[in-house]
Copies of this chain bind each other. A is one copy, B any other.
Amino acid sequence: MNISRASDYAIRGLVYMAKQPAGTVCYVKDIAKNTNSPASFMSKIFQTLAKSGIVDSFTGTKGGFTFNACPEDITIKKVVEIIDGPIVLNRCAVNKSSCRNAGNCDVHFMWADIQKILTKALSSYSIADFATDKKKVSD
């Protein structure tokens, strides 16, 4: 019941990028350093982000990644789904037919309900919410 380190790093990495002037080419090395994450792992994560299209990648010297979307449009749900795959709280949450207890599953409705609540919450935040220092909240 948690997001992966990879999703956490991806979110932090995208927030870092969104804080730079639009169009800035960022190196994994710098993204990793500024987010306290392992560079080699971050590299893998940004490969996945690039495949999804929300960042662009450029290989070779002076290559790197650029943010390829409006930070407002990139919700936390979207990032988590790109990295961890679809959010499925329980295997029977999606549809009853994929459930082992098909046709007689007591809990299907509950998981569908809770999942809806969770995904709504994840959709209510975007990368843009963290891209300015204004947003800081004290403990």
Identify the A interface with B (CB < 8 A). Answer: 1-3, 8, 11-12, 15, 35-36, 76, 80, 84, 87-92, 95-96, 100-101, 106-110, 113-114, 117-118, 121-122, 125, 129-130, 135-137, 139
- A12 proximity list for chain B (CB < 8 A): 101, 106-107
Bound: A84/B89 CA distance, A: 13
The verdict on A3 contacting B2 (CB below 8 Å), with A121-B117, A130-B106 known, is no
Do residues A110 and B76 form an inter-chain contact, with CB atoms below 8 A?
yes
A95 to B139, CA, bound (A): 8
The listed residue (B11, B95, B101, B118) touching A117 by CB distance below 8 A is: B118
Q: How far is the CA of A135 from the CA of B108 in the complex (A)?
A: 11
